[in-house]
């Protein structure tokens, strides 16, 4: 017996996050740590709870162990419910055989039965790799007012960056006229945030059609895809369905690359000038929830020097930390220096080591006097170019005195 | 029968409330904030949970609102269970009982009907004013091996009548059998101090409960002093670090002891997590002018000034140009810009807009919950 839910959220968490590969060797992208004590998936899950959405399907596929364990029964996000709650939905086998999720649309298609049990009016489709706080209920409201079939949340981006995104071209009422993926010459600066509200009957219809069409193409050895942006949105536009753009003005960051993950972490320290575009993690009315690891408070030692940084519980700091984000249980030994860096949970920076402009993954050890990364000031080449941030993966031991150059990515012990 | 069904844990959450009346005017011993993010009862609860004992009762007397709020259903300690789990045992009025326990025996008599129906063969009792991290299994093993009626957990420690007022000292013969139990005796020096934890066979407890008269309300007096010769009472030595809170001074010291790494490691062993209510606070944010030395800082703090030799609980804010030294600032404390706070214990949600120096009488200042120190 299932009671009707007005809104069900589906969270696409199966992505491999190949551009984060040093950090996603053994974990799915949504389980990548962020902001000192969170993981990426905490943001959409907390948004759901804070928006009053209590039924969430999480579609997993790539390296689900850590993610499944982390989500558990959903209790940290108040999503342990008798009716509804969070459900992890991996691909499964049927009498017709077993198949992996073959794209974002197919992942939802394979779980139509899950959604149908709640007989929702609206389905919110979310990604697991964006950092933002958003009230989805306002977007659903907007969707209803416009009597829309699909609403896509968009954010105004600088013209110079528009060609990196899926761009929506809208009329004055924000009705979507056209959608172009990564246009060379963008006709608008409204970028899709990968957050959709669908009227369930319409979504179901288009998922089923896409499935049929794509399978037919596959049988004829034609190129096919089962993707939200590429297939579902395009077909709905073609058929003249009512698609609207919901403009969001707040902090939003795609953390799909190592650079953007590093930037988004440091954004917490130095918020953007535009007040609307700041991410406030200290707002008690909209908390970002996460699974606690029950560590004692952080200890800051006698010789520590900490400036402009974010540090999480269980850390032990004896060295110098400037402009960095340190996660739970990080140890910075005496004489070690961490500048402009992101140090993930359980990592130890040994005495005398220098970590600058770098991401160091979870449970790694940076040996005595090792040097990871370097600042643009110190390491520009003759042409004035700086390599970029250095990255050390999860569980990596960097031996004493070793050097990791800017832009170098280390996945194995050195 | 699985192991855990044999043991029932009882936490006396309101014992010795009066010793720290400043901190217990609106709460009870068990819910006194401690160590940046904990309440005293977290240590007792975690000791049981880490020992695999999941059938737990919390006995309270008065002012238990904040305690109920803290433990809730017991979920954060994994004690929200169908089988066993957490039971809150506030006083209830019976025909011959006005609901206010006068001592441990009194409380045990009051809840006896409940204990009688428990499947447990042994009952382990702890207080909240002595905090330590202990696994109960070695004690249980010894209790069974010696066929004791009662086993008391003690530690050999320097004892000072003034400083350790209210402490219970035990003497044992060569076999470890307790021969005498004294409360705040005169002879200072190294003594075996009872850590207010014991294990008792349920059958023996039944005898004590049923045979004692309504006027007998102290377990220490009735069983451990008046009947020490008849009962088979043994001592079990616990060598892990412990702290006993018997006044505001020892409360201050106990918190400050956590700045010592060895003590911290003993109180928070890696394989013995101390569980507490999850607050979902963001990590600590240090500003440009932050200068922090030798301090324990809990999540949710925003530090713009100087903090030295201090314990900051969740969500404390230290403004620009301010200095916090040798102080304990509990949850939600707000220290404005350019204030000096030296040797203070600020209870929850204190707002400080002026300098606070160490008081003369105690050597530190106590600011009650919600105080507002104006300029």
pLDDT by residue (tens digit) across B283-305?
999 999 999 999 999 999 999 99
Nearest to A224 by CA among A233, A212, A236: A212
Residue A305 reports pLDDT greater than 90: yes
- pLDDT higher than 80, residue B260: yes
Q: How far is A49 from chain B (nearest CA, A)?
A: 14
Q: In what order do the strands lie in the sheet with B295-297?
A: A397-398, A365-366, A348-349, A331-332, A316-317, A298-300, B295-297, B311-312, B328-329, B344-346, B365-367
Mean pLDDT is lowest, of A60-69, B34-43, B262-271, for A60-69
Residue A49 near residue A77 (C-beta atoms within 8 A): yes
Tell me whether residues A296 and B294 touch, CB distance under 8 A. Answer: no
* Residues of A in Cβ contact (< 8 Å) with B293: 300-304
**Which of A185, A199, A69, A223 lies closest to A140 in space, CA to CA?**
A199
Q: For residue B217, which phi and psi values (nearest 5 degrees)?
A: -120, -10
pLDDT (0 to 100) of residue B81 = 84
Alpha carbon distance A241, A236 (integer Å): 5
B359 touches chain A (CB under 8 A): no
Residues in chain A: 414
pLDDT in tens, B305-355: 999 999 999 999 999 999 999 999 999 999 999 999 999 999 999 999 999
By three-state DSSP, how is residue B134 classified?
coil
A94 by Cβ neighbours in 10 Å (0-12 / 13-18 / 19+) ranks as: exposed
Rounded to the nearest integer, the mean pLDDT of chain B is: 92
Coil vs helix vs strand at A233: helix
Q: Which residues from chain A sit within 8 angstroms of residue B76, using beta carbons?
A: 292
Tokens 């369930």 -> residue? A200
- Among residues B9, B299, B6, the alpha carbon closest in space to that of B128 is found at B9
For residue B208 the two structure tokens come to 């004590």
Q: Do B288 and A307 touch (CB under 8 A)?
A: yes
Separation of alpha carbons A20 and A344, rounded Å: 14
The strand pair at B302-303 and A403-404 is best described as unpaired
The pLDDT value recorded for residue B96 is 56
Chain A residues touching B298 at Cβ < 8 A: 297-298, 313
Total residues belonging to chain B: 375
Which of A78-82, A90-94, B211-215, B254-258 has the least mean pLDDT?
A90-94
List B residues 59-78 in contact with A (Cβ-Cβ < 8 A). 75-76
A50: helix, coil or strand?
helix
**Residue in the block written with tokens 């009230």:** A135
Tell me what the mean pLDDT of segment A326-335 comes to: 96
Distance, in Å, from the CA atom of B369 to the CA atom of A227, rounded to the nearest integer, reads 56
Interface predicted TM-score (ipTM): 0.88
Decide: helix, strand or coil at residue A49: helix
- List strand residue ranges (DSSP E) for A75-175, in order: 85-89, 93-94, 97-98, 122-127, 130-132, 150-156, 166-170
- pLDDT of residue B95 exceeding 60, the answer is no
Place B1 in a pLDDT band, splitting at 50, 70 and 90: very low
Give the three-class secondary structure for A30. Answer: helix
d(CA B338, CA B323): 7
Q: Is the pLDDT score of A284 beyond 70?
A: yes
Return the minimum-mean-pLDDT range out of A255-259, A336-340, B127-131, B190-194: A255-259
Opening angle at CA B212, ends B209 and B213, nearest 5? 125
Q: Which two tokens stand for residue A49?
A: 């709870």
Contact B36 A297 (CB under 8 A): yes
Q: Which of A287, A306, A310 sits opposite B280 (nearest CB)?
A: A287
Kindly determine whether residue B261 and residue A299, on different chains, have CB atoms separated by under 8 Å: yes
Cβ–Cβ gap A298/B297 under 8 Å: yes
**Which B residues in the span 75-94 are in contact with A, Cβ-Cβ below 8 Å?**
75-76
Q: Are B131 and B43 in contact (CB under 8 A)?
A: yes
Give CA A372 to chain center in angstroms. Answer: 25
Beta strands in B217-333 (DSSP E): 233-237, 242-244, 284-286, 291-293, 295-297, 302-303, 306-308, 311-312, 317-318, 323-325, 328-329
Span A156-208, pLDDT tens digits:
999 888 888 889 999 999 999 999 888 898 899 999 999 999 999 999 999 99
| Partner-chain contact B295 A307, CB within 8 Å | no
Please tell me the pTM assigned to this model. 0.90
CB B340 within 8 A of CB B354: no
Backbone angles phi, psi at A318, to 5 degrees: -120, -15
H/E run at residue B57: strand B55-59
Residue A210 token pair: 């896409």
- Residue A147: burial class (beta carbons within 10 Å; 0-12, 13-18, 19+): exposed
Helices marked H in B199-247 — which ranges? 202-211, 219
Contact A297/B at CB under 8 A: yes
Contacts of A288 in chain B (CB under 8 A): 280, 282
* Dihedral sign of CA atoms B354, B355, B356, B359 in order: negative
B284 touches chain A (CB under 8 A): yes
CA–CA distance, B282 with A121 (Å, rounded to integer): 35
CB of B276 less than 8 A from some CB of A: yes
| Least confident range of A7-21, A39-53, A337-351, B201-215 | A7-21
So what's the pLDDT on residue B157?
Answer: 96
SS3 A139: helix
| Residues of chain A with C-beta less than 8 angstroms from the C-beta of B267 | 296
| Most A-contacting residue of B286, B317, B324, B328 (CB-CB within 10 A), to test interface | B286
Assign B16 to helix, strand or coil: coil
Residue whose tokens read 């050895």:
A221
**Are the beta carbons of B315 and B300 closer than 8 angstroms?**
yes
Distances in Å between the Cα of B88 and the Cα atoms of A216, B66, B275, B333 are 63, 13, 18, 30
Nearest to A67 by CA among A14, A103, A106, A19: A14
Candidate from B275, B280, B283 with C-beta closest to A289: B280
For residues B133 and B25, which has the higher predicted lDDT (pLDDT)? B133
pLDDT recorded at residue B99? 58
B98 — pLDDT class (breaks 50, 70, 90): low
**Cβ(A35)–Cβ(A310) below 8 Å:** yes
Q: Which token pair is B68?
A: 């109920």
Read off the pLDDT of each residue in B79-103 and give the average, rounded to a whole number. Answer: 76
For tokens 């060598």, what's the residue? B239
Condensed to tens digits (0 to 9), the pLDDT of residues B163-208 reads 999 999 999 999 999 999 999 999 889 999 999 999 999 999 999 9
Neighbours of B271 (CB within 10 A): 6
Q: What is the count of residue pairs from A and B with beta carbons less than 8 Å apart? A: 106
Share of chain A above pLDDT 90, in %: 67
Please provide residue A221's backbone torsions phi and psi, each rounded to the nearest 5 degrees.
55, 30
Query: What average pLDDT does range B76-99 have in this prediction?
Result: 77
């Amino acid at each position: 017996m299932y009671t009707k839910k007005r809104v069900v959220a589906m969270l696409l968490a199966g992505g491999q996050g190949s551009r984060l590969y040093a950090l996603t060797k053994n974990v799915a992208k949504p389980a990548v740590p962020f902001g000192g004590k969170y993981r990426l998936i905490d943001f959409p899950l907390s948004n759901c709870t804070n928006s009053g959405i209590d039924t969430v399907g999480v579609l997993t596929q790539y390296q689900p162990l850590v993610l499944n364990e982390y989500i558990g029964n959903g209790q940290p996000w108040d999503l342990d419910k008798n009716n509804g709650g969070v459900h992890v939905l991996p691909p499964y086998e049927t009498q017709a055989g077993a198949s992996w999720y073959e794209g974002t649309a197919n992942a939802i298609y394979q779980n139509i039965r899950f959604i149908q049990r709640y007989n929702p009016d609206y389905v919110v489709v979310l990604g697991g790799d964006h950092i933002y706080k958003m009230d989805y209920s306002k977007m659903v409201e907007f969707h209803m007012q416009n009597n829309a079939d699909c609403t896509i949340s968009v954010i105004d981006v600088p013209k110079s960056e528009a060609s990196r995104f899926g761009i929506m071209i809208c009329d004055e009422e924000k009705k979507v006229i056209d959608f172009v993926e990564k246009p060379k010459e963008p006709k608008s600066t409204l970028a899709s945030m990968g957050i959709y509200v669908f009227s369930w009957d319409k979504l179901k219809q288009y998922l089923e059609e896409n499935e049929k069409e794509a399978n037919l193409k596959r049988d004829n050895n034609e190129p096919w895809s089962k993707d939200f942006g590429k297939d579902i949105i395009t077909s709905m536009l073609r058929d003249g369905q009512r698609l609207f753009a919901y403009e969001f003005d707040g902090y939003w960051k795609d953390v799909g690359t190592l650079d953007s993950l590093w930037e988004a972490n440091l954004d917490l320290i130095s918020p953007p000038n535009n007040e609307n575009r700041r991410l406030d993690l200290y707002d008690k009315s909209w908390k970002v929830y996460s699974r606690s690891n029950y560590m004692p408070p952080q200890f800051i030692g006698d010789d520590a020097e900490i400036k402009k940084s974010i540090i999480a519980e269980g850390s032990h700091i004896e060295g110098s930390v400037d402009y960095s984000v340190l996660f739970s249980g990080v140890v910075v030994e005496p004489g070690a220096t961490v500048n402009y860096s992101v140090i993930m949970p359980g990592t130890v920076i040994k005495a005398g080591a220098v970590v600058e402009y770098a991401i160091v993954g979870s449970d790694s050890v940076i040996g005595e006097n090792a040097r990871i990364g370097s600042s643009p000031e110190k390491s520009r080449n003759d042409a004035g170019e700086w390599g970029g941030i250095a990255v050390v993966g999860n569980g990596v031991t960097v031996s004493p005195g070793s050097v990791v150059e800017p832009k170098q990515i280390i996945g194995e012990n050195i | 029968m699985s192991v855990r069904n044999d043991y029932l844990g009882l936490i006396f959450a309101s014992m010795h409330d009066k010793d720290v009346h400043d901190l217990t005017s609106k709460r009870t011993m068990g819910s006194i904030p401690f160590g940046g993010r904990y309440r005293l009862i977290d240590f007792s609860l975690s000791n049981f949970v880490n020992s695999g004992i999941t059938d737990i009762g919390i006995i309270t007397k008065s002012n238990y609102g904040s305690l109920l709020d803290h433990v809730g259903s017991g979920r954060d300690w994994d004690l929200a269970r169908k089988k066993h789990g957490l039971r809150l045992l506030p006083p209830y009025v019976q025909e011959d009982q006005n609901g206010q326990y006068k001592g441990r025996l009194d409380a045990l008599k009051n809840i006896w009907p409940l204990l009688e129906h428990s499947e447990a063969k042994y009952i382990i009792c702890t207080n909240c004013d002595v905090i330590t991290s202990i696994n109960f299994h070695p004690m249980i093993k010894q209790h069974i091996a010696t066929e004791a009626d009662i086993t008391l957990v003690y530690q050999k420690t320097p004892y000072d009548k003034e400083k350790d007022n209210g402490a219970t000292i035990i003497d044992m013969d060569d076999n470890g059998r307790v021969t005498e139990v004294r409360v705040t005796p005169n002879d200072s020096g190294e003594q075996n101090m009872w850590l207010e934890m014991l294990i008792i066979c349920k059958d023996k407890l039944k005898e004590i409960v049923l045979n004692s008269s309504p006027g007998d309300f102290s377990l220490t007096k009735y069983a451990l002093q008046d009947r020490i010769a008849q009962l088979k009472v043994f001592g079990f030595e616990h060598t892990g670090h412990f702290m006993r809170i018997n006044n505001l001074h020892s409360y201050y010291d106990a918190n400050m002891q956590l700045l010592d790494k060895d003590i911290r490691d003993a109180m928070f062993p890696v394989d013995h997590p101390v569980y507490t209510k999850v607050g979902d606070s963001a990590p600590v944010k240090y500003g440009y002018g932050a200068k922090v030395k030798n301090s324990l800082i809990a999540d949710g703090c925003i530090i713009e000034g100087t903090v030295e030799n201090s314990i900051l609980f969740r969500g404390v804010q230290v403004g620009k140009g301010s200095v916090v030294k040798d102080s304990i600032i509990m949850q939600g404390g707000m220290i404005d810009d350019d204030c000096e706070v030296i040797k203070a214990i600020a209870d929850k949600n204190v707002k400080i807009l002026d300098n606070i120096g160490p008081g003369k009488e105690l050597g530190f200042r106590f600011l009650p919950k919600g105080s507002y120190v104006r300029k």
